[in-house]
Amino acid sequence: MFKLNEQFIATNKEAVDTAMRFAQLALESTERLMKLQMDTVRSTLEENAKTIKAATAVKDVNELTVIRGKVAEALVERATSYSREVYEVASQAQTQMAKLAEETLTSYNEKVMSSIDSVLKSAPAGAGAAVNAFKSSMAVASEAVETFTKAAKQVTDITEANIKAAANTAAQNVQAATKKAA
């Protein structure tokens, strides 16, 4: 009975520690996003001030067209950069949380298997088949989680490649449109 209480306390402590690690990861990611947003707002305000100053100094329509093209190009570049950085933060957070979840699940499975082994040693005759069936189902569940983790990583990699390609295409289109307008 005493050993069971110790196991229960240890399990609860590990659960709290894991929850705290998840919360810390979420907080760090949120901080990074907030900093990114503040930096983006700050740089946007600075760029807007420069653009307004340049627009007030315009002497003919051609200069205004050039400024408009530069503003459009800068806007797309800024939006593309911002999107990439947000995606990077989200991707890193997802990767870290998936790793933590996988570590937690692996640890849990090891403990369950260890408990099953200790139960098996003191189990009555004939219980071995049920314990082995349970062990087998745990192994299948572990394999399913591993397969899901690999699939999630593949989806993340494909999404990242698609975002990069779309951002590059958008930037090229804006540059082409800017050159055409000038």
**Could you tell me the residue ranges of all domains in the chain?**
2-181
Task: State the Cα–Cα distance between residues 75 and 59, nearest whole angstrom.
Answer: 23
- Give residue 20's pLDDT: 94
CB atoms within 10 A of CB 117: 11
Mean pLDDT of 161-165: 76
- How far, CA to CA in Å, does 66 sit from each of 55, 58, 63? 10, 10, 5
CA torsion angle for 48, 52, 53, 59 (degrees, to 10)?
A: 140
Q: pTM of the full predicted structure? A: 0.65
CB distance 76 to 174 below 8 Å: yes
The whole-number pLDDT of residue 174 equals 66
Q: What is the mean pLDDT of residues 169-180?
A: 69
Report the distance separating Cα 33 and Cα 147, nearest Å. Answer: 30
Mean pLDDT of 6-32: 88
If pLDDT is split at 50, 70 and 90, which confidence band does 182 have? low
How many Cα atoms within 13 Å fall on the side-chain side of residue 39?
12
**Contact indicator for 132, 39 with CB cutoff of 8 Å:** no
pLDDT higher than 80, residue 71:
yes
- The confidence score (pLDDT) of residue 146 equals 77
Taking each helix axis as running N to C, give the angle between helix 61-122 and helix 128-181, from 0 to 180 degrees, rounded to the nearest 10: 180
Percent of the chain scoring above 90 in pLDDT? 19
Mean pLDDT of 154-159: 79
d(CA 73, CA 87): 21
Q: What's the pLDDT score for residue 1?
A: 46
- Nearest by Cα to 167 from 59, 81, 44: 81
Mean pLDDT across 63-83: 87
